[in-house]
Amino acid sequence: MKIKSKKIKIIIISILAVCGIFIAAGLYFYQVAVVPGHKSFISNDTKIVKSDPLYREKKWYQDVHKQKWVIKSADDNLKLDANYIPAANSKKTVIILHGFMNNKDTMGAYAAMFHKLGYNTLLPDARGHGQSQGNYIGYGWREKVDVKKWAKEVIQKNGSDSKIAIFGVSMGGATTMMASGLTMPRQVKAYIEDCGYTNVKDEVEHEAEDLYHLPTFPRFPLVEVLSGITRLRAGYFLGDGSSIRQVAKNKRPMFFIHGEKDTFVPTKMVYDNYQASKGKKELWIVPGAKHAKSFATEPAQYQKKVKAFLNRYL
């Protein structure tokens, strides 16, 4: 009996030790994946150089006068900051959403493109990014309601005859898709998403494998632990943040863009997102483009295709 009891204690201690290791690892990865701050694997450098294919667009954004807009988040009463750049005599506005641990200023080239096409542009900092408040990253799931509130702000300031498109890149692309599943104001006419992921959990699992080279075990249980911690601290499970489920509710036009050589958000994800959308839709796989580099890779074609899409619906 004593030997059996000793074995049981060893098993229990071993199980508790393994659980402790997974919880500690989960807390570490929560800091890496969900807590805002510098990430070594993400660049948000806004320095511009003349060799950049988007130099003129970035220089224009750097120099143009920007209005500061501020709202409170839809749920946590956080102060959210944005830059607004009006176009001459336009009722058409594009809301531009940035990526993971980037900010509104990293989207300057896109603002220049849309402004050239005659659109007002609104560039918000997502919660926990840039000058907006927040102590977690919502990966688009928590931010989707803020996008709806920004759209209402555009309507309030620019009038009920406004026409709005929502555009985002990477996490901003996923946010765009997740917002499309909400009941949006009728003035929101179309969406453009560039290299957004299918699901937050899918993307975190992919990065755990790609950046940390974790095999299925311990990757699978570790992501589950991280998801539980994220629910306790940030209010959502990773699996909640599904672009696929949200675009399946969407009935408005959406343009899906993805780089052919994207390994950060694998190109295969865009096909699932595209198939799920119930509205009118278009898909463009940009030859040779890496993650979030489709505009820089094919600037003329990018502008041409975006212009044609928006002209059809705005």
Assess whether pLDDT exceeds 50 at residue 54.
yes
Give the residue, 92 or 15, on which the prediction is more confident: 92
CATH of region 49-199+241-313, choose from 3.40.50.1820, 3.40.50.12170, 3.40.50.300, 2.30.30.110:
3.40.50.1820
Q: What percent of the chain has pLDDT over 70?
A: 89
Average pLDDT of span 258-273: 98
Average pLDDT over all residues of the chain: 91
Share of the chain above pLDDT 90, in %: 81
* Rg from Cα positions in the chain: 21
The pLDDT score that the predictor gives to residue 10 is 54
User: Mean per-residue pLDDT for 234-239?
Assistant: 96
Q: Does 4 score more than 80 pLDDT?
A: no
pLDDT at 43: 65
What pLDDT is attached to residue 6? 61
Contacts 24+ apart (CB under 8 A), 295-304: 295/54, 295/109, 295/110, 295/113, 295/194, 296/52, 296/53, 296/54, 296/109, 297/53, 297/259, 299/53, 299/54, 302/113, 302/257, 303/113, 303/116, 303/117
| Whether residue 258 has pLDDT greater than 80 | yes
pLDDT tens digits, 130-189: 999 999 999 999 999 999 999 999 999 999 999 999 999 999 999 999 999 999 999 999
